[in-house]
């Protein structure tokens, strides 16, 4: 848990070096990174020495930003700033929070308000808008080794002014009485639930002195009155088998299937690897530590549910991962947003655009807060009037001429669009002409391709001059899923459409209103798309599109 500058800077740099190698190609990538905007860049100053955490605030700048899109279309961002000598040097000192506003979809930002509590460090800010338009701002408020509070402030005028509303949880004692290491509460993250209540998750060390003892757990509380008060503590993630486990930094979201998912780090016993847990109602969680994400993710996670149903996951390891199956499996994107990642957060700012907000290292020391915009590759089309750039061929003889993509196929040879970020739900279309007896097909959700008829995982839907429309699955072998008798002539163009929708596959040929095949199969939910020939035949393809 990152309550004290990620334990140490040297540890952080080691983490980045471990995960510096990014795969060249990812089946669900890439997110193409574009322009950046700066939210805040706090000037350096000559400080009076280390603050309460032993850190020199003069070059620290700003960090740990979180954003929200308001009902009126504006965006707000909150970030922690270091602009004074700290509360050990001046009575009013301490880390402060600033709120910024953008009216142009996160491209430019202006300062709206500054929040501070005399003699305390504020950080871990997070924003939520209630259905009535009021804004909540949750944060940690700390005097190290003596007072830890999770506070909520409220604004009724769009973030211009804030007033104290409630305390979610706290732990207080005489200086040093809480022990070393500290026993505090940190990193609140709020979420609106289906019944209109507000849920908040946070990391808690308060149970380390209890029996059973837990060094740290992820806790949750529910408010039924808009954050004015909070109910009893709910355990979300903990390790009953190892009291030294430290799940922390929770971020949760509602998925397109109606379930809730939380992502968190587990330090202490799991090297800050990222784990997830799911809940049907956002209030009830199964016992235990959850499921480890099988990806190069470590420390300070953030999870985002996209409008198309996919999930994005980031962390301090400088990797972005995507999931097409509600977090069951993950595939890493090939390029990071920044050269470093500190307490990142992600938001969808357009149909095919995300904003990646980060605490970015700067040459004068510390960080500024920047947003980088990424394009989610979406629709694709090629009428093959020019070339097949971006396609990878596996066997066979290929040519682009006459406005078509032509294949002399020996052993069900194929060509794949590489890379292509397949979505959970999409439509693949193309024209197929069998130039002589045999078959031709469209491929989808393909991974691990190689030369050879069945050397890949994924699916194919095709036509055969023997009079068949068929659907099958590859797993480095072939499994037929369904075949329908349909007259198919050689030297005739057939338009094929494949609709992939949450594990349901519909195949249309000719008639685009009634599917020839309607099959449920969700063995493979991510990968690329392409075309495939038959065994010793000639096939042409045209008007290839993905939407």
Q: Which stretches within 394-523 are classed as H helix? A: none
In this prediction, residue 31 carries a pLDDT of 80
Query: Residue 40 and residue 479: Cα distance in Å, rounded?
Result: 55
User: Token pair for residue 515?
Assistant: 């599917």
Pairing of strands 414-417, 478-485: unpaired
Q: What per-residue string of b and e applies to 216-230 under the rule 16 or more CB within 10 Å gives b?
A: bbbbbbbbeebbeeb
In this prediction, residue 540 carries a pLDDT of 98
Query: Residue 222 and residue 203: Cα distance in Å, rounded?
Result: 15
Number of H helices and number of E strands within the chain? 1, 39
Question: If you write DSSP's letter for every residue of 94-147 in order, what string do you get?
Answer: S-EEEEEEESSTTSS-EEEEEE--TT-EEEEEEEEE-TTS-EEEEEEEEETTTE
User: Token pair for residue 283?
Assistant: 């209030």
User: Cα dist. 510→442, 466, 486, 518 in Å?
Assistant: 15, 17, 10, 15
> Strand order in 62-69's β-sheet?
62-69, 75-81, 96-102, 110-115
Element housing 18 (H / E): helix 9-18
Q: pLDDT, tens digit, for every residue of 87-106? A: 999 999 999 999 999 999 99
Neighbours of 294 (CB within 10 A): 13
User: Token pair for residue 15?
Assistant: 């983490």
Provide the residue-wise pLDDT of the chain in tens; the chain has 547 residues. Answer: 333 333 333 333 333 322 222 222 333 345 888 999 999 999 999 999 999 989 899 999 999 999 999 999 999 999 999 999 999 999 999 999 999 999 999 999 999 999 999 999 999 999 999 999 999 999 999 999 899 999 999 999 999 999 999 999 999 998 877 766 679 999 999 999 999 999 999 999 999 988 999 999 999 999 999 999 999 999 999 999 999 999 999 999 999 999 999 999 999 999 999 999 999 999 999 999 999 998 889 999 999 999 988 899 999 998 888 888 899 888 777 577 887 879 999 999 998 899 999 999 999 999 999 999 998 876 788 999 999 998 999 999 999 999 999 999 999 999 998 766 567 778 999 999 999 999 999 999 998 999 999 999 999 999 999 999 999 999 999 999 999 999 999 999 999 999 998 789 999 999 899 999 999 999 998 888 999 999 999 999 999 999 8
Can you list the domains of the chain with their CATH numbers?
9-376 (2.120.10.10), 380-546 (2.60.120.560)
Neighbours of 40 (CB within 10 A): 20
- DSSP symbol at 29: -
User: Whole-model pTM?
Assistant: 0.80
Sign of the Cα torsion 396, 537, 381, 468 reads negative
Query: Residue 371 and residue 348: Cα distance in Å, rounded?
Result: 12
> Which is nearest to 69 in space by CA: 98, 96, 97, 104?
104
């Amino acid at each position: 848990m990152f309550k004290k500058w990620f334990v140490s800077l040297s540890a952080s740099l080691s983490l980045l070096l471990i995960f510096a190698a990014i795969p060249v190609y990812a089946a669900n990538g890439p997110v193409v990174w574009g322009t950046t905007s700066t939210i805040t860049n706090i000037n350096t100053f000559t400080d009076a020495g280390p603050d309460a955490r032993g850190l020199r605030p003069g070059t620290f700048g700003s960090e740990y930003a979180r954003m929200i899109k308001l009902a009126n279309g504006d965006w707000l961002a909150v970030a922690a700033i270091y602009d004074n000598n700290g509360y050990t040097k001046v009575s009013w000192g301490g880390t402060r929070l600033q709120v910024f506003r953008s009216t142009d979809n996160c491209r430019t930002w202006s300062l709206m308000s500054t929040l501070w509590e005399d003699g305390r460090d504020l950080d871990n800010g997070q924003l939520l808008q209630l259905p009535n338009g009021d804004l909540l701002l949750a944060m940690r408020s700390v005097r190290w080794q003596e007072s830890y509070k999770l506070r909520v402030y409220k604004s009724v005028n769009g973030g211009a002014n804030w007033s104290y509303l409630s305390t979610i949880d706290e732990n207080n004692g005489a200086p040093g009485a809480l022990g070393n290491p500290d026993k505090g509460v940190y990193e609140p993250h709020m979420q609106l639930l289906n019944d209109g209540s507000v849920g908040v998750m946070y990391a808690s060390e308060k149970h380390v002195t209890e029996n059973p003892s837990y060094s740290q757990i992820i806790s949750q509380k529910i408010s039924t009155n808009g954050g004015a008060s909070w109910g009893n503590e709910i355990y979300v993630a903990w390790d009953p088998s190892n009291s030294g486990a430290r799940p922390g930094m929770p971020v949760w979201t509602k998925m397109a299937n109606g379930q809730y998912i939380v992502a968190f780090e587990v330090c202490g016993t799991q090297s800050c690897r990222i784990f997830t847990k799911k809940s049907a109602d956002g209030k009830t969680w199964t016992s235990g530590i959850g499921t480890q994400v099988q990806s190069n993710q470590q420390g300070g996670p953030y999870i985002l549910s996209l409008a198309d149903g996919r999930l994005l996951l980031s962390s301090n390891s400088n990797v972005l991962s995507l999931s097409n199956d509600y977090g069951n499996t993950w595939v890493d994107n090939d390029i990071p947003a920044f050269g470093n990642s500190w307490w990142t957060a992600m938001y969808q700012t357009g149909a095919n655009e995300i904003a990646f907000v980060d605490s970015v290292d700067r040459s004068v020391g510390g960080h500024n807060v920047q947003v980088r915009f990424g394009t989610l590759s979406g629709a694709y089309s090629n009428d093959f009037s020019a070339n097949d750039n971006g396609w990878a061929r596996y066997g066979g003889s290929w040519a682009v001429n006459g406005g078509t993509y032509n294949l002399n196929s020996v052993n069900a040879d194929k060509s794949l669009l590489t890379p292509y970020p397949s979505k959970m739900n999409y439509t693949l279309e193309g024209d197929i002409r069998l130039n002589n007896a045999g078959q031709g097909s469209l491929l989808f959700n393909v991974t691990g391709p190689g030369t050879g008829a069945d050397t890949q995982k994924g699916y194919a839907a095709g036509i055969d001059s023997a009079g068949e429309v068929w659907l099958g699955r590859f797993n480095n072998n072939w499994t037929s899923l369904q075949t329908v008798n349909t007259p198919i002539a050689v030297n005739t163009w057939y338009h094929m459409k494949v609709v992939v929708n949450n594990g349901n596959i519909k195949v249309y040929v000719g008639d685009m209103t009634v599917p020839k095949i309607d099959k449920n199969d969700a063995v493979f939910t991510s990968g690329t798309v392409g075309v495939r020939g038959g065994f010793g035949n000639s096939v042409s393809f045209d008007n290839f599109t993905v939407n």
